[in-house]
Each structure stands twice: as structure tokens, then as C-alpha cells.
A and B are shown apart, each in its own frame.
Chain A
Amino acid sequence: MENPYQSSIHGGAPPPPSVGGGVTIATVQGLAATKPWIRFCAILGFILGGLMVLFGLLMMVSMAFISMSGKTGAQETGVMAGVGAVYLLMSALYLIPSFRLWKYGSAILSLMMSGSVTDLDRAMEHHRSFWKFVGILMILGTVVSVLMILGGFVTATSAIKTTP
């Protein structure tokens, strides 16, 4: 007969690992403990991305109003609108990984509720997808930075050469 007063899974110590490489409750508990921090980081990313969208839109709208009043030149307005557009693009770099991270957290929640291998696979896929995206972003960022440094160097060198 089983003990009817056995403590709950979350309250008690984790049981020994199951035989044959099976997943233990402790493994799911470990992922469950990660979930709040994943959600928190995702929310911070959403806030940061949202602020960038707001800032970009504000910049573009305000420049549209200023240009309508005729106080600035077309070139200045264009530059400021361009900066606003860059902010909007940059916000995507925060929002997309945050969204993937949020999905990973949701998949962990589904795993906790259902305990199915499908949910486990989904969680692992979102996890991999997040790291892959951030990794590709990092490679692109590095390449762009190196190109910008090289461009700056070439421009500076040519400017020195043309100076009498």
C-alpha cells in the first residue's frame, strides 16, 4: 500500500535517477527553476525593445512635425528620420530573441503541466533557436564592426593623403 500522506514532489527531496537513462523529476524541477529567470530576462528584453520602438517613432514623428514647420533643412530631417528608423530596426534585435526566450519559458511550463516528450522537444528547440539567433547576431555584429573600423581607417588614410 502506498503512503497516502507522502509529501508533494516539489516539497520533498528529488528521487534517485530513474533506470535506463530516464528523466528524473529533478530534471524537470531544474528546468522549472530556470523558467522564472528566463521569463524575467525576456520581459526585460521586451521592455528595452519597446522603449527603442517608442524612441524611434517619437524621433520620426517629431522630425515630421519640425520639417512641416520649415525650421530645419531637408538633409537634417532625413538624417534624424534615418536615426529613428535605425532605432526601429535595432528594437527588432531585442524583440526577436526576447520572443524566442519567452517561447522557451512557455515550453518549460507546458512540459511541467503535460510531461510529454513533445513538449520537452519543443522546449529544447526553442532553447537552441534562441542561442542560434543570438550567435548569428553576434557574428554579424562583429563583421559589421570590423568593416566599420576598416572603413574608418581607409577614410582617415585617404583624408591624410589628400591633405596638402
Chain B
Amino acid sequence: MENPYQTGDISRATVEFGSLPAADEIVQGLTRTKPWVSLLAVCGFLLSGLCLLALGGSILIISQLINSENGVSSVASPFFTALFSLASSTGSLFLSIKLWRYRTALARADASNPSTILEAIERQRSFWKSLGILALLGGVFLTLLLLLALFSAPITPK
């Protein structure tokens, strides 16, 4: 007897899908992306390191400007550069770690062990979620920075 209270097509389709021997397709499809995912994760780690270097440089410039004749008034630009570098480095490192974990899960994915496939998919979801949230936060941060720059711009007399 069929379930009269069963939900729409999606549920029925997934029930049918449950019996398909498609684990090999999923594992093949996922593992083919592994070299690219590895490359991007490594590039992310390198980017994070470069941003840290930029942060160090900005801090050095700030310390020199404070000690110079110009004083504290001239540190606004390197201060924002330092802030941006710190945010970029942290975000890049966080995403690279997530991507590397996904890569590790891909390396472990095995068609005969469905839990490894599920883990890889879960890691993928986690990466995209983190990227989405960080992109949103980055957008808000940049908008605030833009507004701050607009409102703090000196008004030139006519």
C-alpha cells in the first residue's frame, strides 16, 4: 500500500534514487576535482601568508609615521591597509583550511564506504557555507569602509 501522506515529487524521486548503484559516479565526479581543490587550497595558504607580509609592512610604516614629524594624522591610510590585510589573511586562511579538509575528505572517499562520500559532501557544504558568510561579511565591511571614506573626505571650499 502506498503512503497517502507522502510529500511531493522530490521525496519520491530520492526514494527511487536510493536504489541506484551510482556511488562510483559520485566518487569519480568528486575525486576528479581533487587536484584543482588542492591547488586552490595551497594558493589560499600562500595568499594568507602574503597578506600577513602586507600587514607586517603596514605596521612598520605606521610605527615610522608615528615617530616622524607628521605624527598620528598621517597613519589613516596604512591603518586601513593593515586592517584590510588582517581581514584578508584571516579569511583566506579560514577558507583554505576548509578547502584542505574537503580535499582530505575527497582523498578518503570510497565507493564501497558511503559514509566517506557523505563526509566529502558535508565538507563541501561547509566550505560553500563559509565562503558565502565570509563574502557577505566582506561586502558589509567594504561598504562600511566606502561610506567612511566618503563621509570623511575633506570638503574643498569653492
Contact = CB atoms under 8 A, between A and B. Distances in A.
A and B: partners?
A: yes
A125 to B, nearest CB: 7
Interface string A115-146: 11100110111011001101100110010000
B40 A29 contact: no
Contacts of A9: 7, 11, 14-15
Given A8-B11, A37-B128, A131-B36, A22 B29 contact: no
Given A21-B112, A117-B22, A2 B14 contact: no
Contacts, number: 151
Contacts of A33: 125
A125 B33 CA distance: 10
A131 B26 contact: no
A4 B21 contact: no
Interface residues of B, number: 52
Contacts of B61: none
A120 B20 CA distance: 11
B13 interface: yes
Interface stretch (B77-85, B114-122, B147-155): B114-122
A117 B15 CA distance: 14
B43 A142 contact: yes
A20 B21 contact: yes
Interface stretch (B52-60, B67-75, B86-94, B129-137): B129-137
Contact of B125 (A10, A25, A30, A128): A30
Nearest to A43: B132
A18 B92 CA distance: 38
A116 to B, nearest CB: 8
Interface in B6-48: 6-7, 9-11, 13-26, 28-30, 32-33, 35-37, 39-40, 43
B18 A134 contact: no
Contacts of A20: 21
Contact of A132 (B1, B23, B36, B117): B36
A80 interface: no
Interface of A: 1-6, 8-10, 15, 17-18, 20-31, 33-34, 37-38, 40-41, 44, 111-117, 120-121, 123-125, 127-128, 131-132, 134-135, 138-139, 142
Given A120-B26, A132-B36, 16 more contacts: A4-B2, A4-B4, A4-B5, A6-B3, A10-B7, A22-B22, A23-B117, A24-B118, A25-B15, A27-B118, A33-B125, A44-B135, A120-B22, A121-B25, A131-B37, A135-B36
Closest 3 CB pairs of A and B: A124-B29, A115-B17, A135-B36
5 contacts: A6-B6, A8-B11, A113-B13, A123-B29, A124-B29
